[in-house]
Amino acid sequence: MIVASLACYYALIQPTRQGGGVPPAKRTVIVQDFTGRNVTVKVPVDRIVVLSELDELAAVGGEDALRKLVALNIWRYKQWRPDWWEEWIKHFPWLANLPDTGQVGQNFNPEVVINVKPDVVICWPGQYNQLKESGDLKKLEEAGIRVIAVQLLPITTNITEHLNAVSKTVKILGVLLGKEQRAEELIRFYEEQINKVVTRTMHVEKRPKVLVFITSSLWTAYGMKGYYHVWVTLAGGVNLGDKVVKGFSGDVDPEFVINENPDVIIFTCNNNFPEGQRVVVGYTINSTRPAKEALKGLINRPKWEELQAVKNGRIYLIHHGFCHEKIFQFFALQYLAKWLHPELFKDLNPYANLQEFYSKFMLFPLRGVLAVELNDP
């Protein structure tokens, strides 16, 4: 009787969590991840280590999932995404007390992971390969730890492949966290956002010529195997870098830029500018002025005043961190679409869409300046 009343009490008082009431019972599943391996794992998992980033975990599993973290790649956050890290610990200060695994390929410490006895380690395929090469993977597997690699941005302009990759990743996370329903919602939201662009650009006739530059170096542009090859093409443009840079990125001949006369020029950077460490975009920025100043400096090159892009003021800056391997990377596609085809996407509001995403799926509201046009009012 005591047991029964305790059970009822438990069932009734149980706070409603996102995605359902009573936690589902455990079952064993086989997950095929992005390295092609079949990984057997008992789900839902209770102890998680994340070597990549937190947003995807949070989007699928909410605060519950966050609380299941037993270790995290804090080093990467502090070094490479300091303003994002500040947001996270502002809302969840206990994150800072988690053991730090270190960045794969630099100072990764497998012992930290082994000590916390996780059910699963989540990382990117690139990180998986690095773990394999350094021998750390073997150590983790010998300790019975499952490593699962997920990917959100394969370099392909085939929209089906793209959506499949995102869907697969989100589903994997859903299964692991016991939040399959929410995962489905997330996938639907993402596909909707992507389709808002792709359905229109599929039939577009005039494809503007685009060059996407890295701000860390004067003449380096993204090429055939770079992320922006995907975004520019899907957004209905032509990535000029594809012509001459066959790899991820490379230096272009200044004459090439003059000759090709791009219609749109986009600069990408993370939350800071390498030279002088100016912060021009990111969560902590409230105004578009710093970015615009930066852009003015960047386009100050001989004869650029005669380029179509400069004459028409089609110069943009976008936060690189939001554009790859993120569950909200649709933001990049939408901004690019708006910039490449302003008339076609007059009704599209990427920032508002991202805000909606944040309020529905993320654990804190969106803020900051993430994409800037040189000439917007």
Partner 1 sequence: MLVIFSILASATFLANICIGLTFVSPFQALCSVLGDNHCVDESTRFIVVNYRIPVALAALVSGAALAIGGAAVQAITNNPLASPYTFGISSAAAFGAALLYSLNISLIPSMYAATVNAFLFALMACLGVISLSRARGLTTVGVILAGICISFLFQALLALMEYLAAQDVLQAIVFWMFGSLYKVTNEKLLIVAINTVGSILLLLRCSWKLTAMQLGDEGSQALGVNVRRMRLMVLVVTSLTTAVVVSFFGIIPFVCIAASHIARLLVGEDEKYLLPCSALVGASILSVASVVSKVVQRGAIMPIGIVTSIVGVPVLMHVILTKRGG
Of 196 and 319, nearer to partner 1 (C-beta) is: 319
* 164 contributes a contact to partner 1 by CB under 8 A: no
Distance, C-alpha 302 to centroid of its chain: 35
Torsion 142-145-146-150 (CA) sign: negative
User: Is-contact 60 188, C-beta < 8 A?
Assistant: no
Omega before residue 110 within 30° of 0, cis: no
Residues within window 224-243 making contact with partner 1, judged by CB under 8 A = 243
Whats the size of the chain, residue-wise?
377
Q: Segment near partner 1 (CB under 8 A), from 164-172, 249-257, 287-295, 350-358?
A: 249-257
User: Is-contact 50 56, C-beta < 8 A?
Assistant: no
The position carrying tokens 């959506």 is: 163
Residues 6+ apart with CB under 8 A from 149: 33, 34, 35, 123, 124, 125, 127, 128
Residue among 157, 181, 216, 349 that touches partner 1 (CB under 8 A): 216
Helix axes 350-361, 180-201, angle to 10 degrees: 170
Taking CA atoms, 92 is separated from 47, 86, 162, 222, 366, in Å, by 18, 10, 32, 36, 15
How many chain residues interact with partner 1 (CB under 8 A)?
A: 35
* Tokens describing residue 374: 């040189």
Instruction: State in angstroms the smallest separation of the CB of 375 from partner 1.
Output: 25
Instruction: State in angstroms the smallest separation of the CB of 79 from partner 1.
Output: 5
Instruction: State in angstroms the smallest separation of the CB of 95 from partner 1.
Output: 19
Of 82 and 368, nearer to partner 1 (C-beta) is: 82
Of 202 and 218, nearer to partner 1 (C-beta) is: 218
Q: What is the DSSP letter of 301?
A: S
Instruction: State in angstroms the smallest separation of the CB of 153 from partner 1.
Output: 16
* 305 contributes a contact to partner 1 by CB under 8 A: no
* 300 contributes a contact to partner 1 by CB under 8 A: no
Of 161 and 251, nearer to partner 1 (C-beta) is: 251
* 35 contributes a contact to partner 1 by CB under 8 A: no
Integer Cα distance of 281 and 265 in angstroms: 17
Residues 6+ apart with CB under 8 A from 193: 330, 333, 334, 353, 357
User: Is-contact 345 200, C-beta < 8 A?
Assistant: yes
* 215 contributes a contact to partner 1 by CB under 8 A: yes
* 329 contributes a contact to partner 1 by CB under 8 A: no
Of 274 and 313, nearer to partner 1 (C-beta) is: 274
Q: Segment near partner 1 (CB under 8 A), from 147-155, 245-253, 310-318, 334-342?
A: 245-253
Residue among 36, 93, 135, 276 that touches partner 1 (CB under 8 A): 276
Instruction: State in angstroms the smallest separation of the CB of 149 from partner 1.
Output: 20
Residues within window 175-214 making contact with partner 1, judged by CB under 8 A = 214
* Tokens describing residue 18: 């996102």
Residue among 134, 220, 284, 308 that touches partner 1 (CB under 8 A): 220
- DSSP string of 340-367, one letter each residue: H-TTTTTT--HHHHHHHHHHHHSSS---
The position carrying tokens 């021998």 is: 135
Q: What is the DSSP letter of 233?
A: H
Go through 77-113 and write b for each residue having 16 or more CB atoms within 10 A of its CB, e for each that does not.
beeebbbbbebbeeebeebeebbbbbbbeeebebebb
Of 32 and 79, nearer to partner 1 (C-beta) is: 79
Of 214 and 369, nearer to partner 1 (C-beta) is: 214
Contact track, partner 1, 73-112, x by CB under 8 A: ------xx-x-----------------------xx-----
Residue among 259, 343, 346, 377 that touches partner 1 (CB under 8 A): 259
Of 175 and 257, nearer to partner 1 (C-beta) is: 257
* 304 contributes a contact to partner 1 by CB under 8 A: no
Residue among 270, 288, 329, 334 that touches partner 1 (CB under 8 A): 270
Q: What does the binding site for partner 1 look like in residue numbers (CB under 8 A)?
A: 79-80, 82, 106-107, 214-220, 243-246, 250-256, 258-259, 269-270, 272, 274-277, 302-303, 320
